[in-house]
Each structure stands twice: as C-alpha cells, then as structure tokens.
Amino acid sequence: MSDVVGRQLRIVEALLFASAEPLRPADIAPFLEGADIPELLETLRTQYEGRGVNLVRRGDAWAFRTAEDLGFLLRREQNETRPLSRAALETLSIIAYHQPATRAEIEDVRGVATGKGTLDLLMEAGWVRMRGRRRTPGRPVTYGTTDAFLDHFGLEALSDLPGLDELKGAGLLSGRLPPDLQIPLPFDGMLHPDEDPLDASDLGDPDPDDEAE
C-alpha cells in the first residue's frame, strides 16, 4: 500500500469516527479530491472485519458500529423512550415493504384507518420520509424508509429485510392483517415511475393533501 493510499484511508477513517451520522461517498469526496472513495471504503471495511468495531454500509452511507456479537458489552442503564404502538409498528413494516406507499395504501393493507399522528411519529423518529406524490387523482403523498431506519435495524439495504414469518414472530405484524398478505420487493430508488417530486409546500406540512386520498 502506497503512502498516499495509506493517508487517504486514515482521512476516511477519521471522518467516519468524527461523524455522528453515516456518511455517503459524496460527503467524504471534498476532503479527498480525485480519490476513489468507494474503493477506500471497501478497503477500510475489510481492515475492520473481525474487530470490535466494524465499518458497515447503511443504504448509500457508511458508519462505524460495534460488532454485533459484542453489543451486549456496551449496554447501559438508560431512560427508555416510550415504545412504538402496534399501529406505528405495523405502519412502519408496511411502508418498509410496500414503499413507495400512500396513507390510503397503508390503510388498505392494515384494514383500519392510519392516523396522521402515526406517520408524524415515524417521521420524527427519522425512520420514514415523504418520497413524492403519486400520479393519481388527488396526488397523495408517498412514503418510504430512510437510511436511519436501516441503521437502527442493522440493515445494509432493503433487500436484507426479514421475511413475513420473521416479521410475525417478532410481533411486527398482527393477526388482523390479511392471511394472504404477500411481501413485495420494496422500491428504494429516487422516484418510482408513478411518482412526481414533492411540491415546495410539502416541506412545511408533513401531509397537507392526504385528505384527497
């Protein structure tokens, strides 16, 4: 390994350790002009394999995280936040697998109404985001998951989501859901062919026009 590459790896390592949030290659690029950031990240990931701290990918971003088999060593007594309600857990699961999904589509799967507060809670947690607007009458808002969702649940990509039986076993889906419910392949691209970009007004209101659904 050349001295130049060695220094580049040290810079990437330092940036990742100093960041409170996972970093994308584009976040690192300004500090290493002309460097092959993806290759550096893969090299660093290999170097940290088997250590107490691993370099992991979360969507398009990267972060250092405690090795999964050592997580129990770092547990501390903390004031626990209020756990998510059953409605929030089901809504999060449906969005994860069916994204991009509108509120009406979520309600169709659950069979019950989904309160606006449930979606607001998931967005405040940083796990759900507004993606765009469906190209249907009323142009309802579509929802999807975030990189923070992947990070919290230890997923590298949406393709790592567990299967239907695992979800039921974990209590994330209730018996109220349709028995013939199928788990589709979630879409995690920028915009689905049937989505339009969000309007400027959407940034100030989490769900301004869902009444039209």
DSSP 186: P
Predicted local distance difference test score (pLDDT) of residue 209:
45
What pTM, to 2 d.p., does this model score?
Answer: 0.60
Pick 1 or 155 by higher pLDDT.
155
What are the tens digits of pLDDT across the range 81-114?
Answer: 557 788 888 899 889 888 899 999 999 888 888 8
Q: Is 71 helix (H, G, I), strand (E, B) or coil?
A: helix
Q: Is 52 exposed, middle or buried (0-12, 13-18, 19+ CB in 10 A)?
A: exposed
Tokens 């998510």 belong to which residue? 84
Q: pLDDT class for 74, splitting at 50, 70, 90?
A: low
CA end-to-end distance (rounded Å), the chain = 58
Better-scored residue on pLDDT, 190 or 172: 190
* CA–CA dist 107, 103 (Å, integer): 6
Q: Is the dihedral of CA 164, 90, 67, 151 positive or negative?
A: positive
Under the banding of pLDDT at 50, 70 and 90, the label for residue 212 is very low
Cβ contacts of 18 within 8 Å, gap of 6 or more? none
* CB distance 63 to 22 below 8 Å: yes
Give the pLDDT mean for 158-175. 63
Phi-psi sector, 42: left (phi>0), alpha (psi -120 to 50), beta: alpha
- CB of 62 closer than 8 Å to CB of 56: yes
Average pLDDT across the chain, whole number = 80
Residues 17-66: tens digit of each pLDDT: 998 889 999 999 999 988 999 999 999 999 999 898 999 998 889 999 88
Q: Give the whole-angstrom CA distance, residue 162 versus residue 145.
A: 15
Give the model's pLDDT for residue 48. 93
% pLDDT > 90, the chain: 31
Q: Which domains does the chain have, with CATH numbers?
A: 3-74 (1.10.10.10), 86-212 (1.10.10.10)
**What is residue 166's predicted lDDT score, i.e. its pLDDT?**
63
Decide: helix, strand or coil at residue 208. coil
| pLDDT, mean of residues 138-147 | 91
pLDDT value of position 12: 95
pLDDT tens readout for residues 112-132: 888 778 999 999 989 999 999
Do 131 and 146 form a contact (C-beta atoms < 8 A)? no
Residue tagged 């579509």 (tokens): 142
